[in-house]
Structure 1
Amino acid sequence: MRDIHCHILPGVDDGAADLDESLAMLEAAKRAGVTRIVCTPHCRDPYFDYDKMWDAFELLRDNADGFPLQMGFEVNHRKLVELGIDAAEHLHFDGTNEFLLELSTHADAYAFREYENTIYDLQCRGYQVIIAHP
């Protein structure tokens, strides 16, 4: 079973505070039957620091005793618009075409039209869009 949305990286967002907590989360996931994890830190303010997040991924991977971890991001729509659609190239699940997109829970009809356009644009670029918290 693959967990595709996990805030397990140490010290980068509102998930695990440190490596010890990350490793405890990893052990809990194993006990629950998870066999692979996509690490998906927030790509939104105030958390987003691309290099720090990749460093945290490498730290966790190096301490995970070979457990299959993959890097990705939970990309907030507003942040994607700010960064530009070309940033998707660096934010999808590493090694796949999967893209985890977070939408606002307070969206109006106009926002949904904007979301549809963004999703269409991502799909045209070859991404399989996964909506976080539908």
Structure 2
Amino acid sequence: MRRLYSDAADQEKRDLWARSIGAGAARCLRGEHDKAVSLFRQSVLLATDLGPVDFRLPKSLDCIAAACFRLGRLEEAQLFLNEALKICIKTLGDHHHTVARLLGHRAKVLRAGGQIEEARRLEARRESIRLRRGC
């Protein structure tokens, strides 16, 4: 596989990613969710540059979904969570603890949108993974 960036450039992207995630989380804690969304979008771009199987991309998508949820942008939150789930299932498998966590987040968004039955289905799937993994 051909390297697109040098190790130093990749390290700089990882550092920038960590700073944008941290700054976005700090904005969320202060209730500045719109500003957090912008920072998390930056983290998505940085994570995308690091590669399609890098753990940072689904983490970034999960963070931006959480900020969108807090802003009441439920459809947007679902889109980000769906993409994060798709990546995690493809790279980690159906029964990984990260998949269970993301299923829980999706269920929370669905409940907020009144989609109770679908939320229950995802919660049951999440619990099944947790029991299977013993976590």
TM class by shorter chain equals 0.3 to 0.5
Give 1 or 2: higher helix fraction.
2
TM-score by length of 1: 0.36
Higher-Rg member (1/2): 2
